[in-house]
A and B are shown apart, each in its own frame.
Chain A
Amino acid sequence: MPILTEDRRTGTVPPPPFKPSGGRGDDGSPDSGSSSFPIPKGQLGVWILLTAIIMLFAGLSSAYIVLRGVPAWQNIELPWLLWPNTTILLLSSVAIDISRRAVRRGDLQSMKRWLASGGILGVAFLVGQLAAWRQLVNAGVYLPSTLQSGFFYILTGLHGLHLLGGVIALGLVLAKALKNRLTAFNYEPLKLCAMYWHVMDALWVYLFLLLLLS
């Protein structure tokens, strides 16, 4: 007579049916565990990293909003270069997404082309941000000039560093692509890179609005 101790102890159902290992589109390794979690570990890792980055900027934004209320707050005139820079960054996101769609179709040539142009646009954005800093410096606005100028340099600088990380990652993905190691069935690195890039893009739009609307 079978005694289902499991049921009696916990009131839970018997163990779930086993899934055949492998073939989960994960990382292909047979030992990567058989948990039924729907997101592969690379993607989850990037999402966790992005959560940490978002919390960093959330903390800084809350400081920004609190200090906006103090009497000494003074707005600075934002450099006009930020507008073209924002456009460039948005275009780079578009390029990277076109590249992602291309690899899904199996159009590797187009994937490489658009990936490279996305990277070039990203570098152009970073150079543009430095030029925007230059504009501010020429206008006599430095880091300690006002509270907002301090935030401006810190927020744009931190965002720039995070995007620089994205550019480096994109460079590595591009190197992989040029060695023809990305295919329509295995383009996980490109997917992760695109995810990170889009969030950095959205983060910039948010920061720009935060700086603009105070």
Chain B
Amino acid sequence: MAQSSQTKKRKGILGALVLVAGAIGLFWSLVVAPPDAYQGNVQRIMYLHLPSILTAYLSYFLVFVGSALYLWKREKRDDLLAHSAAEIGVLFTALTIIEGSIWGRPTWGVWWTWDARLTLTAILLLIYVGYLMLRSLIEDENRAASAAAVLGIIGFLDIPLIHMSVYWWRTLHQPPSILRPDKVPWENVHPSMLTALAISFAGFLLLYFYLLSLRYRLGEMREEIKARRLERGT
């Protein structure tokens, strides 16, 4: 397999870091951080919920960048980055919706409601599931990549809408407690909660880059197989 031992070593180190950050994050979120004054222990779901959606946003940002670069330069590696990031973005968006649903049941009394932020997040998920389906439905690879790139760019516009939805519409979803324009985070949230959130987010980011590197390399290998087969005429 065409993978240097240095790359393997790097992946091994990244994998180990994911495990360490995950374990510390779990301990801090479930044991060290205090329960919320109003919601009690159920608020601990936030240490999964916020890092998941921020990781999904990062992923869709990479889809946006990869798609724009692909439409501009027509280089396969940019399309590969966008495709890999979209797949993992879908995973983290689905996780966000599941966590939110489980958190919603004890706090709002329902598993799901057609609230603006929830609905826009569900639309975000559908857009990128559509992105992945589009790629498999169009036979011509270049056409599929171009069409997906356009959808990848348009889909990204949903993210500012999701962020602003709690200000623009009357929603059940609470406004941000941490990313507020009028307050610095430590004025609003207990330092131990912020630490738990930071460690958990670091763990999610490390996990994200680990998954992305695997998925990207998988795409590269598939491209190499296709190119070799084309060369041999099989």
Asked if A pairs with B, the answer is no
Which residues from chain B sit less than 8 Å from chain A, CB to CB?
Answer: none
